Amino acid sequence: MGLQNTIFNAFNKSIVFGLVGITVTDRYAGVCPIRGSSMSPTFNPSSSSSSSFTDDYVFLEKFCLDKYKFSHGDVVIFSDPTNYKGRCVKRIVAMEGDYVSNVNGATKVPEGHCWVEGDNSGFSSDSRTYGPIPLGLIEGRVTHVIWPPERIKKVDRRIPPQERLAF
């Protein structure tokens, strides 16, 4: 009887810890791998191979999703607007109401949207390709690189150069 109780208690505790862990990663924070070179040198500065050992892993905070508290220069992870299974990481360049200059002239970012671009513009598919993204697609803001150990750092909010913004 004692062994059965011990096993039952251990099983119950593991279920509770699993549910708490899922809730925390779904609601408050998480860890995500960053693959590709579109955000180089901020992430994966030497991403010549597609090995997961060289990928940067980042801390993703989700408190910003409450009332969509984002600002210029934030690095965000969002659902790919062209592929519902994909995820993208880019920097917010413009918020709703801002004008962004592009090949078509100046584009006004509509309400409830933002304009995102990769730091490595030559290798980035971003708002210049698919236009402004809805704020509802954003899954969280990247705050820190947490892996690999030699790259642990805070991700700085970098404001885009003014020539990209039209006034």
Run of H or E including 130? helix 127-130
Which pLDDT score, from 0 to 100, does residue 32 have? 86
Domain with 36, as residue range(s), is 2-166
Which pLDDT score, from 0 to 100, does residue 18 have? 59
The average pLDDT across 131-156 equals: 91
Phi, psi of 136 (to 5 degrees): -65, -15
Using one digit for the tens of pLDDT, what is the confidence trace for 87-130? 999 999 999 999 998 777 888 999 999 999 999 888 888 998 89
Q: Single out the catalytic residue among 37, 47, 90, 127.
A: 90
Task: Provide the whole-model pTM.
Answer: 0.77
Which pLDDT score, from 0 to 100, does residue 151 have? 87
CA–CA gap between residue 145 and residue 8 (Å, rounded)? 39
pLDDT-based confidence at residue 14 (cuts at 50, 70, 90): confident
- Say whether 38 is catalytic: yes
Query: Residue 119: how many CB atoms within 10 A of its CB?
Result: 19
Q: Single out the catalytic residue among 37, 38, 40, 127.
A: 38
Domain tally, the chain = 1
Which residues 6+ apart lie within 8 Å of 49 measured at CB? none
Q: Is the pLDDT of residue 43 over 70?
A: yes
Using one digit for the tens of pLDDT, what is the confidence trace for 51-68? 555 788 999 998 777 777
Which pLDDT score, from 0 to 100, does residue 91 have? 95
The CATH number of whichever domain residue 53 belongs to comes to 2.10.109.10
